[in-house]
A and B are shown apart, each in its own frame.
Chain A
Amino acid sequence: MGYLDGFKVTLRQIWGERVTNVYPDEKRPKPDRFHGRHVLNRYEDGMEKCIGCELCAGVCPARCIYVRGADNPPDAPVSPGERYGFVYEINYLRCIHCDLCVEACPTEAITESKLFEFSFTDRQDAIYTKAELVVGDDGHPQKLPWEDWREGDADRTSAWVRATAPNGSAVFEGKVGWSGELGYGVRNPEKGQTAETDTTPAAGVKTGTTPAAGVKTGTTPAAGVKTGKARAPGRGKARAAESGKQ
């Protein structure tokens, strides 16, 4: 009886294994590439990585990011280089966690943490400003009262970006945690680069593999200038190439 076979199937499932996760009681481990709430990273010396270039805001398909850059005050610079993110706001009622902002960021200032368990009772609270987004002095994201951080999540704010993003490096595969090494100085040379390069940003033009690397705009990080160890040209070249095409 072909018509009645289905009844046997459904009846059999009663004794089958349950596939449901009992979510709030049992939480599954999050994947390495999980996209959660953003953080704004800082260098080891406390400088903010954000340079106010607004590439993240430009690429955001949900238009949830609002950035205004400003010139660094000469006596008390917020970021290494010329400009910094003066206003940085993300509206989490709109954010779709596509991670395009992370891909776009030339300095890896913005990365996504693994946090997704946060909620608000007010629309205003859904707009995170720099006060909430910037990481603390130890490099760990701020744990805000309405957020449910899990053990170890704070160490995993940028791991997969380093390992797999176009502007990341395979050397960091599997490594987690925040540090300043990506910001400047200690980044491993890419193909076509030498380990020790000149200290000027212009050196990147010489060593860069693509001609477009020369088409640098004001938004390319100038961090190298300050620290004397060039990493900026390599970092910025892919992005600069894109903006060069436009």
Chain B
Amino acid sequence: MGDPLYAEGVDLTVFLIVVGKVLVVFAFLMVSVLFMVWFERKVISDMQNRIGPDRAGPWGIGQTLADGIKLFFKEALMPDRADRRVFMLAPFLSIVPAFLIFAIVPFGDEITIAGRRTQMQLADPPVGVLFLLAMSSIAVYGIMLAGWSSGSKYPLLGSVRASAQMVSYEAAMSLAIAAVVLSAGSLSTRDIVNEQAMYRWNLWVLGVVPFVIYIIAATAELNRPPFDLVEAEQELVGGFHTEYSSISFALFFLAEFMNVVTMSAVAVTLFLGGPNGPRIGFLPDLWPVVWFMGKLLLFLFAYVWLRATLPRFRYDQLMDLGWKKLIPLGLYWLLLIASLRIGRDQGWNSYVVLAAGVAVGLVAWAALGAALRRGEAVEAAA
């Protein structure tokens, strides 16, 4: 397993190919962020009967570039009470994980460059999914340290919210991903994609539930609407990045939208079969990339759609949804899938296993509901 590129040892050609892939992925991410910002502004203005950016270039496509250039020429402010080093470091802690996550995303099949076969994927570590979870956890540090080091109240409140929210929803997200890992039997993203070949996508193989949990948890993880309490303007000014300006702010902005792209790419990988799709005769290397991009675009549109439609959650609703609904549901679904697998391996009647699983689920649901109601009653009495 792994990338066939390294099968015959590492020489200069291999090294150059890897450098080339790094550059391609880097450039793709940067351009995709430019595109995503423009796409989001354009689609959301369509959904609000507005026109959106239309000044810079045709259909305003150069708007993000213009904004970026403007931001780079702005004065970088440093609050008096800021912890200078951490304040400078935080944006990078935020953006580096966003880049790194995309390294494990397969965006095409194998191609031949200079006589070497290689995967269209920057890296395919055996612990790919763990790497993904680790990186999305590290992204919390960027936001938390940014708020903490600003030496200002609102950013601190915003970052406290952010860390609480991201840590809680990471549990739900991990449970959804665990179901995928269980079905693929591997942590490697390439294996997970190969497992879903022939339209055996995890989206329906696992039931839609893990997918829905993943989407909700990822939206919360990204601090996007309707979970954008971290930067709730009415309450917290700008949230954790209130005190940031110029390049530092641009980096946060970049990281935010890059995370949208990478999380969508991960969702495509885990649930929609990555670059799988109909094979067409000509240009066989190109089509998987096209399918991948198409699915990615679908997700990006869905994120914008969510943002245009849903109002922001209240903080207690956010925590309720995470801890009392998504995590129990994710846990139950994981156990259900696991028991169905064991049943299949042991040759049990799958209908009986399913019925038993549903029965246990109902009992657990009733018990959880009773426990929650009791907790609320105790709280109300106190």
Contacts and interface: CB of A to CB of B under 8 A. Distances in A.
A19 interface: yes
Contacts of A20: 49-51
A7 B49 contact: no
Contacts of A9: 309
Interface in A12-40: 13-14, 16-20, 22
B46 interface: yes
A218 interface: no
A17 B48 CA distance: 10
Contact of B308 (A10, A16, A18): A10
B51 A14 contact: no
Contacts of B54: 22
B239 to A, nearest CB: 24
B47 interface: yes
A20 B48 CA distance: 10
Interface in B45-74: 46-51, 54
Contact of A14 (B47, B309, B310): B47
Contact of A10 (B50, B51, B305): B305
Nearest to A4: B309
A13 B305 contact: no
A145 interface: no
A144 interface: no
A7 B226 CA distance: 13
A174 interface: no
A9 B309 CA distance: 8
B49 A19 contact: yes
A13 B309 contact: no
A134 B309 CA distance: 53
Indicate the member of B43, B48, B310 with the most A CB atoms within 10 Å.
B48
B309 A22 contact: no
Interface string B301-345: 000010011100000000000000000000000000000000000
A18 B50 contact: yes
A10 B47 contact: yes
Contact of A6 (B46, B50, B310): B310
Contacts of B310: 6
Given A6-B309, A6-B310, A11 B47 contact: yes
A164 B47 CA distance: 41
B50 A14 contact: no
B50 A7 contact: no
Interface string B163-183: 000000000000000000000
Interface in B246-283: none
A11 B51 contact: no
Nearest to A24: B55
Nearest to B48: A13
A13 B46 contact: yes
A13 B125 CA distance: 44
Nearest to A13: B47
Contacts of A13: 46-49
Nearest to A15: B46
Interface centre among A9, A10, A18 (most CB of B within 10 A): A10
A18 B45 CA distance: 9
A199 to B, nearest CB: 62
A10 B226 CA distance: 15
Interface in B10-63: 43, 46-51, 54
A7 B46 contact: no
Contact of B309 (A10, A16, A17, A19): A10
Contacts of B308: 10
A18 B305 CA distance: 18
A223 to B, nearest CB: 51
Contacts of B309: 6-7, 9-10
Nearest to B44: A10
A13 to B, nearest CB: 5
A41 B311 CA distance: 53
A7 B54 CA distance: 25
A11 B46 CA distance: 9
B47 A18 contact: no
A10 B43 CA distance: 10
Given A9-B309, A10-B47, 7 more contacts: A6-B309, A6-B310, A16-B49, A18-B50, A20-B49, A20-B50, A20-B51
23 contacts: A6-B309, A6-B310, A7-B309, A9-B309, A10-B305, A10-B308, A10-B309, A11-B305, A13-B46, A13-B47, A13-B48, A13-B49, A14-B43, A14-B46, A18-B49, A18-B50, A18-B51, A19-B50, A20-B49, A20-B50, A20-B51, A22-B51, A22-B54
